[in-house]
Amino acid sequence: MEINKLTGSLKGEIRVPGDKSISHRSIILGSISEGKTHINNFLMGEDCLNTIKCFRKLGVKIDINDSEVIVDGVGIKGLKKSIEPLYAGNSGTTMRLLTGLLSGQSFETIISGDESLSKRPMDRITKPLSLMGADISCSNGIYPPIIINQVNKLTGLKYKQKKASAQVKSSILLAGLYTDEDIEILQPEISRDHTERMMKYFGIDIRIEGKKIYMRGKREKLTGKKVFVPGDISSAAFYIVAASIIKDSHIVIKDVGINDTRTGIIDVMMNMGGSIKIHNKRTINEEDVGDIEIKYSNLKSIEIGGDIIPRIIDEIPIIALAANFAEGSTVIRDAEELKVKETNRIDAVCCELNKMGADIIPSDDGMIINGGKNLTGSSVSSRGDHRIAMMLAVAGYLAEGKTSIDNFESVNVSNPNFMKIFNSLCHI
């Protein structure tokens, strides 16, 4: 993909693809519900489509009609053994959440992934699941493929997470559907809570008290629902930052999920001096939704760390780009989780943006971005990571000359229409 500097500004109104996290979970819970679940604005990205393929192999009938997905649920005990291994592709969410769900089944399952996913550690879920009685093994004890053996039953669990992780707690909660005992999870910091919200919407007795999650035992059934998937704020983040740093820009992003556990990007940008407002707030299937208005602004440096990191972990690459155009030096810390994403995002952000003239210094758990640097077009690589690809595209619009991005098609994971949406805003 080749990108030239944008000579104008961004103007207009857009919608971004449906939230990836919510799309995954709507398929998972719809599949084990009784009756049909109708899902609108589902994200038709590669990761979520891999989740659909996995459940079809598990005996669930799932139809796709344009932007609507209809799941004909088989009930909590209705999944069938797949005749071949389940393939999660590049989706860590698919692999980790399905491992939890399938750890209490009466049949064996193997879950594999692509080359990148096969290098991502899975012991963070296999350890707590084993405490519940699951029989799980991995290559070298850590890496996929994951082999899940059948068990008679799982037990309840009181679990204190060492690191905040939505995938870990979701895996435990999904496994907890297959025990008659209670589940209690204590989070060190609150991470995204889409699983908890959707479980409640589908009829599960679950409650949140601060950092504690309680799910009551003896679950009998889930009931199929109508689900609207809000726009993904992680996808919206690229347009939010672009409008904030491209002069004279003024855009509105409609129907975006503004769940409190996901709006760290808005908090960070406003702390940096961004001009952002949220309009038309409402709640749809337990999720908060709104329209986000963004105007160009002069940004300043800040320090980012602590309990906000779980709320912005996927947005840090594009935040780093915003910091490059801010006054002063921005420090990002406590973000070592970036090392085990689709690629090592600390290394990717620093290396690729520095090729374009940025001054970013990596650290063990983050980076220091020395702002006020002009960028120059260069040959850069997404490293097969969709969020790095989209961040570099925005950088290319701001850089002098031409930017060439290798493996840009990785954007298909979360926003196949990224360029089409961006170009619709370009105003010369």
Residue ranges and CATH numbers for the domains of the chain are 2-17+230-427 (3.65.10.10), 20-228 (3.65.10.10)
Neighbours of 146 (CB within 10 A): 26
Q: ∠ CA 63-65-68 to the nearest 5 degrees?
A: 90
Task: Verify cis geometry, omega within 30 degrees of 0, for the bond prior to 145.
Answer: yes
% of the chain with per-residue pLDDT over 90: 88
205 given a catalytic annotation: no
Residue 232 CA to chain centroid, in angstroms? Answer: 9
Neighbours of 196 (CB within 10 A): 23
Long-range contacts of 74-79 (CB under 8 A, 24+ apart): 74/31, 74/32, 75/32, 75/33, 75/34, 75/221, 76/32, 76/33, 76/177, 76/178, 76/219, 76/220, 76/221, 76/222, 78/32, 79/31, 79/32, 79/105
Q: Count helices and strands (H / E) in the chain.
A: 13, 24
% of the chain with per-residue pLDDT over 70: 100
Residue 184 CA to chain centroid, in angstroms? Answer: 24
User: Is the separation of the CB atoms in 349 and 320 below 8 Å?
Assistant: yes
Q: In angstroms, rounded to a whole number, what is the distance separating the alpha carbons of residues 373 and 304?
A: 20
Helix (H, G, I), strand (E, B) or coil at 381: strand
pLDDT band for 428, please (50, 70, 90 cuts).
low
Residue range 177-205, pLDDT digits in tens: 999 999 999 999 889 899 999 999 999 99
Q: What is the pLDDT of residue 106?
A: 92
pLDDT band for 217, please (50, 70, 90 cuts).
confident
Considering 72, 314, 334, 385, which one is annotated as catalytic? Answer: 314
Of 188, 215, 191, 213, the closest CA to residue 202 belongs to 215
Q: Which residues contact 115 (CB under 8 A, 6 or more apart)?
A: none
Kindly state the tokens that stand for 381: 């690589």
Say whether pLDDT at 160 is over 70.
Answer: yes
Residue range 27-48, pLDDT digits in tens: 999 999 999 999 999 999 899 9
Q: At what angle do helices 20-31 and 46-57 cross, to 10 degrees?
A: 10
User: Is the separation of the CB atoms in 57 and 78 below 8 Å?
Assistant: no
Q: 329, exposed or middle or buried, with CB in 10 Å at 0-12, 13-18, 19+?
A: middle
- What's the whole-number mean pLDDT along residues 239-260? 97
Say whether pLDDT at 413 is over 90.
Answer: no
Instruction: Provide the pairing of β-strand 250-257 with 9-15.
Output: parallel
- What's the whole-number mean pLDDT along residues 318-325? 98
Residue type for 292, please? Answer: I
Q: What is the pLDDT of residue 19?
A: 94
Residue type for 381, please? Answer: S
Q: What is the pLDDT of residue 218?
A: 74
Q: At what angle do helices 386-398 and 316-324 cross, to 10 degrees?
A: 20
Neighbours of 262 (CB within 10 A): 31
